[in-house]
Structure 1
């Protein structure tokens, strides 16, 4: 997914402290593509917290009536220095990229795209989709993998049944399940369904920091209540994540964790780099390529099969971009 905001600048979002060191991050709504601009709720990045592990971007959207909003139609756009993680609850999205990948993103199936030195892709909800509902997440690559070759992977994790919960682990390891999908830093990603009244504990690496993104229901993270679309943050130091569904209906959430990246990054528009000059170069290369004036060794390449033009980059700010993390 692209950050399609015309003025790609950092904005301050609300956060509040919870119990036992838990921090609660509220989302801000931004428009995403489509003739009537499908809204998404963005909880990462924000000024008070840029990263959770290497997770650096979280958009949560739907349930969205495609007939009213026009659904998702994100033209070809570039990425560098990160991995995109697509996870759907309802609906279907067609993915095309510049290394020739063509896949359907479906509920319960991970689609992970590694940008590395550069890739372009498009995302369009299919005509058969009536309700679109899911999350788009980005992972910052460490400096050692910033220029890795672009790649695309899919994986459909088997559900793990626990007492009071169903878990699908799409990255990393928990609940006795391990994803085979490669990441470049220690990560955890899972969808968790909690039965009404369920009280469930997940084992994690004690060096991990964790985010809990609530999609449905009344959830508590170590006793701290999280509302719909909020992201609860648990700092490193604990070997467990304690979750409770205090409601009378099923709860659904995404469990996102990882070892703190320990590096400063610059994320502007759809690029992630280490310096202002990195971003300037990525933008210059992308603009040259979509105008047909790039070198023979294209950084991003061409997305075949999309009916429309590529998305131009917004203007850079007048001041130098500053690293964060």
Structure 2
């Protein structure tokens, strides 16, 4: 059974100042989460100006970064250092809390996403991993290539393993193409338009649209002829366990845990990076 379009959510513009363009598709007033994903930022900037280039904490979540273009250096309070380039993906299990910083090498285009850790995994030890473009499956379809980072998409399984069932892939679709592919084990699923446009069940979805689909076995995506080459992020999986409490970079399942995360950061229990916390 093919998945059907249930709703379309427009990402909110956060920054658009001539150098940086940043849109937030999750959370919004219309939609808090899709699968375990509770945060989706899509950014593009021309200079070395970063978004998370200053040391900052995270707790209660898994952080996924995916670069379409550009490069970035990663450093964190656990001692991990890494450099990512185009097509690379990064995974941080923040758990009980850690600090990190990302310094762009120059202009950059990519995604940052958060998944909410299940309540019984909120306070696990932090960890880090990265996945090179060459190690990420690239599925060739008629009119498209799909890079599968996590989950089972189009018959390929991504190398990134998360704490919940998670689907994350990026599809590069030719103008005027229609593709159909299966997505396994993803009760909730959405497609975010990074570039170009989609035509889903007769609805045109421009750049910045998050198309939320019904449950099913396969997804059908069509790109209008006049849209040019289209980039789409496929996100979803097992629904995030409720309740969800947000406070900046922390996502917890109770006010008490949220307050504890804030105390742990201020007291230095999440570690230190470049003198932060002071």
What is the TM-score with the length of structure 1 in the denominator? 0.78
- Where does 1:109-258 land on structure 2 (aligned, <5 Å)? 109-126=88-105, 129=106, 131-156=107-132, 157-205=136-184, 208-235=187-214, 237-248=215-226, 249-258=228-237
Distance 1:80 1:218 in 2: 34
Distance 1:279 1:49 in 2: 21
Flag the 1:188–1:92 CA change in 2: closer, same or farther, 3 A.
same
What is the TM-score with the length of structure 2 in the denominator? 0.90
Give RMSD over aligned pairs: 2.3
State the match for 2:10 in structure 1. Answer: 26
Flag the 1:134–1:208 CA change in 2: closer, same or farther, 3 A.
same
**What are the superposed Cα offsets for residues 249-304 of structure 1, whole Å, 9 maximum, x if unpaired?**
21111111112234221121000111112111111221222xxxxxxxx2x1123x
- Higher relative contact order (CA closer than 8 Å, sequence separation 6+): 2
Higher strand share: 2
Flag the 1:281–1:111 CA change in 2: closer, same or farther, 3 A.
same
Q: 2:57 aligns with which of 38, 56, 78?
A: 78
Cα deviation for residue 206 of structure 1 reads 6.5
Distance 1:226 1:29 in 2: 16
**What are the superposed Cα offsets for residues 145-171 of structure 1, whole Å, 9 maximum, x if unpaired?**
111211111113032211111011001
Segments of structure 1 that go 5 or more residues without pairing to the other structure are: 1-18, 290-297, 313-325
**What are the superposed Cα offsets for residues 15-34 of structure 1, whole Å, 9 maximum, x if unpaired?**
xxxx95521111222249xx
Give yes or no for the alignment of 1:42 onto 2:24: yes
Cα deviation for residue 180 of structure 1 reads 2.6
Distance 2:203 2:163 in 1: 31
Segments of structure 2 that go 5 or more residues without pairing to the other structure are: none
Distance 1:205 1:224 in 2: 25
Tell me which moved more, 150-159 or 133-142. 150-159
Give yes or no for the alignment of 1:53 onto 2:35: yes
Larger Rg: 1
Distance 1:122 1:285 in 2: 18
Flag the 1:144–1:73 CA change in 2: closer, same or farther, 3 A.
closer
Native 8 Å contact 2:187 2:238 kept in 1: yes
State the match for 2:86 in structure 1. Answer: 107
